[in-house]
Amino acid sequence: MTRVACIGECMIELKQAEGGLFSRGYGGDTLNTSVYLARLGVGVDYITALGDDPMSDEMVVGWATEGIGTRRVARLKGKLPGIYMIQTDAFGDRRFFHWRENAAARSLMDLPETGDILQSLATYDVVYLSAITLSIYSPQGRTKLIDALGSARKHGGRIVFDTNYRARGWPDPDVARAVFAEAFAVSDIVLASPEDLLPLYPYESDEQLMARIPCNETVLKLLSPGSIVRFEGTSTEVRPEPITRPVVDTTAAGDSFAAAYIAARLAGAEPVEAAQAGHRLGGVVVCYPGAIIPRSAMPADILPGPGSSRKASP
């Protein structure tokens, strides 16, 4: 059985190249996580909607080449994928510009096959989604998805929610706060950061932010290098090894962290070990431009080795 389902949107990615030009690829937070999960040896399906255009064809072929399952990708006649452009500064920090209002992925919760897709979530060990995933659907669509996540949990699946918050995707902060509360309530693991949460809960400390998340397993990726892992009531600070190469683009740092964290937990690693794995992979990804690094750049030592301790895999 495929172990992980990732739900969300993949867009055409335009990233800076030499001479003021842009190169074309593809990316999206949950798709990026899917790629890195597959590269770490985890069986993963990507759940989304695409158009019937050549660029959508190219995406599906590319995902299959990476080892991602595409059987639950809906194809919509006359639709197109969205587009985003990455602009990075001298320190590798990035800004995103989006053209996605009519993207095919936004219709995923309103299709004739939506019911079958949502029922399929109960067949996975882990279902991964982000706040961006929830932001692209209508209120009715979000309700359908959250209800399906609750049903998947009853069948033994584990829900992983990433608080990847982008204000422009939400009508107002009150709506986002309400949806976050619903997502927290159906999640087994929450991957969060002050960068995501402070716009919704200003001036709160790291401890206050974590207290808002009721689930048993929470990772707060800090503004300074490191994270706080809370598991079974105990919090542990995790500090990564220093990055020795220049940071050129922080795109997908969190997405790759999520992939390594999930992969490590599925392999039986403790949450702290899983966070260390997440930091290791994220520390490599930020040294390359764009969301997806070359396959040849994937390090071989991301996941904990056979001699590490094991506890309570999801």
**Digit-coded pLDDT (tens) for 53-92:** 999 999 999 999 999 999 999 999 999 999 988 777 767 5
> Does residue 255 carry a catalytic annotation?
yes
Q: What is the pLDDT of residue 2?
A: 66
Q: Which residue has the higher pLDDT, 222 or 2?
A: 222
The closest of 310, 220, 231, 219 to 265, measured between CA atoms, is 310
Q: Which residue has the higher pLDDT, 221 or 86?
A: 221
Integer angstrom CA distances of residue 250 from 14, 207, 234, 284:
15, 25, 30, 10
* Residue from 45, 125, 206, 255 carrying the catalytic annotation: 255
Which pLDDT tens digit goes with each residue over 94-135?
677 888 888 999 999 999 999 999 999 999 999 999 999 999
We find that the CATH architecture of domain 4-297 is 3-Layer(aba) Sandwich (3.40)
194: CB partners within 8 A, 6+ apart = 206, 209, 220, 222, 223
Which pLDDT tens digit goes with each residue over 226-236?
999 999 999 99
The closest of 147, 149, 177 to 161, measured between CA atoms, is 149
The secondary structure of residue 92, as a DSSP letter, is S
- How many angstroms separate the CA atoms of 264 and 4, rounded? 13
Radius of gyration of the chain (CA): 18
Q: Where are the domains of the chain?
A: 4-297
**pLDDT higher than threshold 80 for residue 184:** yes
pTM of the model: 0.92
